[in-house]
Amino acid sequence: MSDSVDAPGLSDLPLDDLVACHECDLLMRKPRLAHGEKALCPRCGYELFAHRHNVVQRSLALVIAALLLYVPANFLPIMQLNVLGQSSQDTVWSGVVGLFNTDMRGISVVVFLCSMLIPLLKLLCQLCVLLTIHFNIGRSYGLLLYRIYHHLRDWGMLEVYLMGVLVAIVKLADMAAITIGLGLACFIGLLLVQVWLEVVMSPHQIWQALSGEDAHAGD
């Protein structure tokens, strides 16, 4: 582990040699990290950036896994309700359609964007960015897509949708017989893979690899 240390005379250094903490705004000299090391802010302990092994290859594997989980997570039944002899199966997509058909069109659009469209766009942006680095082609487009991905990050709310599903299951448990479907397992798997991807895909190394500052930044 390598800690960044505030140094005197920072105003004389070029901007590329400086880094500011995202949490407390402490300005410090940017350290050079070896594989497996990470830089922490000496004031608040926030992780500034890390140098992880095989970032591109590991991230590609996780993105592909997430894309494979995307379709079953959204179109396979999350749960089956049995009430008075009648049963119904609910999926993420059927929830969007149900809201739209009951004149709650604004809510249906928000649910569709935050639980289906934006998470898919995020994954596709990440896939394209990683492919531009892996094959060393079109890195200018990769930079644009990575900026778009960062703007989309706050709008993909799979965890909020999952909490809503869990609350619904708890509340309906006393009123109906509930059978958990394969779609819920895929949805949870998709959420966990995306969280893991956020940890593995080191932004510092991706930016370096896209800008060409370090030929091995994505290794």
Answer yes or no: is 91 within a domain: yes
For the ranges 8-17, 20-29, 61-70, 105-114, the one whose mean pLDDT is highest: 61-70
Residue 68 scores a pLDDT above 50:
yes
Mean pLDDT for 77-99 is 81
- By mean pLDDT, which of 30-34, 55-59, 121-125, 191-195 is the weakest? 30-34
Write down the pLDDT at residue 207: 84
By 3-state DSSP, what share of the chain in percent is helix, strand and coil, each rounded to 5?
60, 15, 30
Write down the pLDDT at residue 145: 93
Same domain, yes or no: 20 and 88? no
Answer yes or no: is 145 within a domain: yes
Residue type present at position 167: V
Residue type present at position 202: S
Structural tokens at position 183? 């779609």
Write down the pLDDT at residue 73: 92
Instruction: Compute the distance between CA of residue 120 and CA of residue 116 in angstroms, rounded to an integer.
Output: 6
Residue 72: pLDDT band by 50, 70, 90 thresholds?
very high
What is the domain range of residue 168?
Answer: 55-211
Instruction: Compute the distance between CA of residue 36 and CA of residue 51 in angstroms, rounded to an integer.
Output: 6
Beta strands of 60-214 (E only): which ranges? 79-83, 86-90, 177-180
Residue 85: pLDDT band by 50, 70, 90 thresholds?
low
Mean pLDDT for 58-84 is 89
Residue 197: pLDDT band by 50, 70, 90 thresholds?
very high
Query: Between 4 and 162, where is the model more confident?
Result: 162
Question: What are the backbone angles phi and psi of residue 181, rounded to the nearest 5°?
Answer: -95, 170
User: Whole-model pTM?
Assistant: 0.77
Query: Between 3 and 58, where is the model more confident?
Result: 58
Among 50, 70, 87, where does a domain finish?
50
CB 36 within 8 A of CB 52: yes
Residue 44: pLDDT band by 50, 70, 90 thresholds?
confident
Same domain, yes or no: 179 and 97? yes
Same domain, yes or no: 201 and 180? yes
Same domain, yes or no: 43 and 61? no
Instruction: Compute the distance between CA of residue 118 and CA of residue 94 in angstroms, rounded to an integer.
Output: 18
> Exposed, middle or buried: residue 171 (CB in 10 Å: 0-12, 13-18, 19+)?
exposed
Answer yes or no: is 219 within a domain: no
Answer yes or no: is 218 within a domain: no
Same domain, yes or no: 108 and 39? no
Same domain, yes or no: 15 and 120? no
Same domain, yes or no: 66 and 150? yes
The predicted-structure confidence for 112-137, as pLDDT tens digits, reads as follows: 998 899 999 999 999 999 999 999 88
Mean pLDDT for 180-209 is 87
Mean pLDDT for 162-182 is 76
CB 214 within 8 A of CB 208: yes
Same domain, yes or no: 60 and 37? no
CB 129 within 8 A of CB 140: no
Mean pLDDT for 179-192 is 88
Same domain, yes or no: 138 and 203? yes
Query: Between 200 and 89, where is the model more confident?
Result: 200
Query: Between 31 and 188, where is the model more confident?
Result: 188
| Mean pLDDT, all residues of the chain | 81
Q: What angle do CA 64, 54, 66 make, to 5 degrees?
A: 15
Angle between helix 55-75 and helix 182-200 axes, rounded to 10 deg: 160
Same domain, yes or no: 103 and 204? yes
Same domain, yes or no: 23 and 92? no
Total number of domains in the chain = 2
Same domain, yes or no: 60 and 35? no
Instruction: Compute the distance between CA of residue 206 and CA of residue 162 in angstroms, rounded to an integer.
Output: 29
